[in-house]
A and B are shown apart, each in its own frame.
Chain A
């Protein structure tokens, strides 16, 4: 059995680890709230642009922008969103697994654009075709931070290097639940239009030109929204992971304390027996 001193040392070490995990849990909880707010803040833009695209498409359904043309899929591109750091439970491995599943469905080897270090590292290790990476964006990525990665994907699609682009990210369902999700980005799935169509709508210069300028922004907004949502998911997953770690530390401390007490008791008993034995020997 371990010595009392070793046990006490371990208890102390587990306690200090627990302090760290507890602090990380609190930090993640606060960051999650802020990340959720940012998802909310980005919503008006993506809703408005979705409406506008849907309306425009209803007005000129015959116009086929390259982003709207469905081609035969020979090669796919996956935009994989992950976190930059670990300690987020199964979040990243779920995203990566989902991405690999999609990539294996592509007739010719799919390429990948990564946003986040964890995904990049895995893809590099697996020697996948990594066409671009945008990592270390921190907690407040701006559209400008994410844009280069999206532009690369759009270029590849325009050049015909790939025929379909999908986004893989962790959808934020609740603080306790995040879902690895695949969302098609290109060709654009025309959003369902709602509401009435105003009769005389003026497009300056032409509906076609407006759509040409709008569609890239629509794609960008979708990806950006995914990145923000993944960030909220990441903080939620970290919060849960750290809470579990703190709970496990508590269990461990209880166990170790019990063992330590047993050891202490045994030592005292042994010492007492020796004293009693010694006294008895002297008297006798």
Chain B
């Protein structure tokens, strides 16, 4: 079967460049599953988790904002921030989550804290999925 060439790049450098059978992305309008021969698509991304599956092997990455360009044989993700699950600093994310929650408790509706909280939650989730591949369906929302 045809494969997808997945490129995940940020302004600082290339995070991932691999072949894949399937890729799941946090599209602006909802999660997006892409198989080879998808019609060309360009859409912004939310903060969330990217899953890349190749020959049954799944990889998880955290992305925060950016774009994805889908072509029949290629998926290019232009992320504002991207981290592989194994590179996520869990203690740092936990800390960020706590301070964002405190900020929100003091000033409900603070947009910066809300964004920070969302990011921290997703980073933790991506990191956790890597350690417990079985427990996948717990959503942070």
Contacts and interface: CB of A to CB of B under 8 A. Distances in A.
B48 interface: no
Nearest to B30: A204
B29 A204 contact: yes
Contacts of B13: 38, 41-42, 44-45
B27 interface: yes
A220 interface: yes
A48 B40 CA distance: 15
A52 B71 contact: no
Given A41-B13, A49-B78, A200-B40, 4 more contacts: A142-B12, A201-B39, A201-B42, A213-B44
A204 B78 contact: no
Which of A44, A48, A209 has most chain B Cβ within 10 Å? A44
B34 to A, nearest CB: 12
Contacts of A214: 67
B112 interface: no
- A-B pairs with the 7 shortest C-beta distances? A41-B13, A204-B43, A143-B11, A202-B41, A201-B40, A45-B9, A44-B9
A172 interface: no
Contact of B42 (A38, A52, A143): A52
Interface of A: 38, 41-42, 44-46, 48-49, 52, 56, 142-143, 198, 200-205, 209-210, 213-214, 217, 220-221, 224
Given A52-B69, A52-B78, A217-B80, A200 B39 contact: yes
Interface in B57-76: 66-67, 69, 71, 76
A230 B45 CA distance: 31
Contacts of A48: 7, 9, 69, 76, 78
B115 interface: no
Contact of A41 (B12, B69, B71): B12
Residues of B contacting A: mostly: strand
B11 A56 contact: no
Nearest to A55: B42
Nearest to B44: A213
B44 A221 contact: no
Contacts of B80: 143, 217
Interface residues of B, number: 23
Contact of A224 (B7, B11, B71): B11
A198 B10 contact: no
Residues of A contacting B: mostly: helix
Interface of B: 7, 9-14, 27-29, 39-44, 66-67, 69, 71, 76, 78, 80
Contacts of A221: 11
Contacts of A217: 66-67, 78, 80
B41 A45 contact: no
Contacts of A143: 10-12, 80
A130 B80 CA distance: 28
Contacts of B9: 44-45, 48
Given A52-B67, A202-B40, A213-B44, A42 B11 contact: yes
Contacts of A220: 11
Nearest to B29: A204
Contacts of B71: 198
Which of B10, B11, B28, B44 has most chain A Cβ within 10 Å? B11
